[in-house]
Amino acid sequence: MADKLVRKQSKLSVYLYVPNIIGYIRVLMNIVAFALCFSNKIIFSVLYFVSFVCDGIDGWCARKFNQVSTFGAVLDMVTDRISTACLLVILSQVYRPGLIFVSLLALDIASHWLQMYSTFLIGKASHKDVKDSTNWLFKAYYGNRTFMAYCCVSCEVLYIILFLLAETQNENLMDVILHSIQQKSFLSLLVVISLFGWAVKQAVNVIQRSQRYSSDSIHP
């Protein structure tokens, strides 16, 4: 009876870990952000980006306070995937061709799912353990936390910028990107920097998907 009570209290304490509390706040911020996305783009962008920044903060807290948990990892990943997916769906309705964003959404979900699945299948402690990979870009991405952070931030910043630049619900994607680059302003510099990081992350997603698929074939 006492052991059962201890296990129950231990399970409850996991839900109250600092990084998990930050995760709950992220969920609330995203709910408010998407509820206001069309009525107030600025508030949406601020809330969405702050929620994204908190993704890094909760990871730091998990390591700092030794509060790493499977629940926290799943909460973090699901929050990331859903928030990005919602923004990509919105962009698919604003820009032509919308299929580009739908394809990016499918690639993002498929690559991350295969990555997590094969990690558990092989028995690795972390999905970021790519020591056995032969691809230099894959190893550079997961082997350098700063580089990975740059690529992830670039994706989200690019998507937010595209959302802010859309004036109608029938924008041509290439026209908007080219026009923003030709402005020769801070915004154009930000778009170029974000595009490079975004391209690297999509390449990693493709590599990740193909490598994880091969791993699944080897380990049925």
**CATH, residue 140:** 1.20.120
14-18, 118-122, 143-147, range with the lowest pLDDT: 118-122
Identify the active-site residue in 3, 80, 108, 132. Answer: 80
- Mean pLDDT (the chain, rounded): 84
Q: Identify the residue whose tokens are 């952000």.
A: 33
58 is catalytic: no
Helices 99-122/70-94 angle, 10° precision: 160
Which H, E and C letters describe 181-212, residue by residue?
A: HHCCCHHHHHHHHHHHHHHHHHHHHHHHHHHH
pTM of this structure: 0.84
Asked if residue 118 has pLDDT above 90, the reply is no
Q: Could you report the per-residue pLDDT of 48-68, keeping only the tens digit for each?
A: 999 999 999 998 999 899 998
pLDDT of residue 6: 41
User: In total, how many domains does the chain have?
Assistant: 1
Question: If you ran DSSP here, which 8-state letter would residue 170 be given?
Answer: S
Residue 77 belongs to domain spanning: 2-218
pLDDT of residue 8: 47
C-alpha span between 127 and 130 (Å, rounded): 8
Question: If you ran DSSP here, which 8-state letter would residue 111 be given?
Answer: H
Q: Could you report the per-residue pLDDT of 130-183, keeping only the tens digit for each?
A: 566 667 888 888 888 899 999 999 999 999 999 999 988 789 999 999 999 998
